[in-house]
Amino acid sequence: MSATTMSVAAAAEDFLSQHRIAVTGVSRTPAGHGSNAVYVRLRDRGYQVFAVNPNAAEVEGDAAYPSLSMIPGGVAVVVIGTRPEHADGSVREAVDLGVRRIWMHRGFGGGSVSRTAVEYGRSRGATVIDGGCPLMFGAASDGGHRFMCRVLSVLGAVPRRVS
């Protein structure tokens, strides 16, 4: 377990201070996919984002990569937007590549959070935000996402502290 714990707001600020971001689970059919919304918003806000989808060469008009290891030059942080059963592999790959900031997207429902992936990442020194959405914080946010953050915090889908 990581020795340092911090508020989710501090972890989000640190995460969003990085500008090379991979987003897993970005779909060729964007309607209803939270990872697509995250990808597009971060791209539109000036981040250098990389879509990860092993079944697509292109998403949202940009190149897609089959894995984190195939992204030229690597990334500083990863948003996991896949089903939870795929999160373990993504966290393992991220940690193996030296990524130490990982965000498992979660809105209503279970989202992408996998308990075993959270434990694995944290046990290897990564800061893992296990819920919520990067669009709820900082320059990437909007009023709707900030409101959802408050509601989801009460419901337990956004952690108050992370390590």
Does residue 125 fall inside a structural domain?
yes
110-126 pLDDT, tens digit per residue, is 788 999 999 999 999 99
- CATH number for the domain spanning 86: value is 3.40.50.720
83-114 pLDDT, tens per residue? Answer: 999 999 999 999 999 999 999 998 776 788 99
Largest CA distance in the chain: 41
Domain count for the chain, please give it: 1
How far apart are alpha carbons 146 and 162 in whole angstroms?
19
- Residue 27, CB-side half-sphere exposure with 13 Å CA sphere: 12
Write out the residue range of the structural domain in which residue 84 sits. Answer: 6-155
Tell me if 79 is assigned to some domain. Answer: yes
The verdict on residue 18 lying in a domain is yes
Tell me the residue type at 40: V
Please report whether residue 53 resides in a domain: yes
Q: Is residue 162 part of a domain?
A: no
Could you tell me the mean pLDDT of each successive run of 10 residues in the chain, 163 residues long? Answer: 78 96 90 84 97 95 97 97 93 98 84 94 96 90 86 83 88
The pTM score is 0.92
- In a domain, residue 82? The reply is yes
Q: Is position 1 within any domain?
A: no
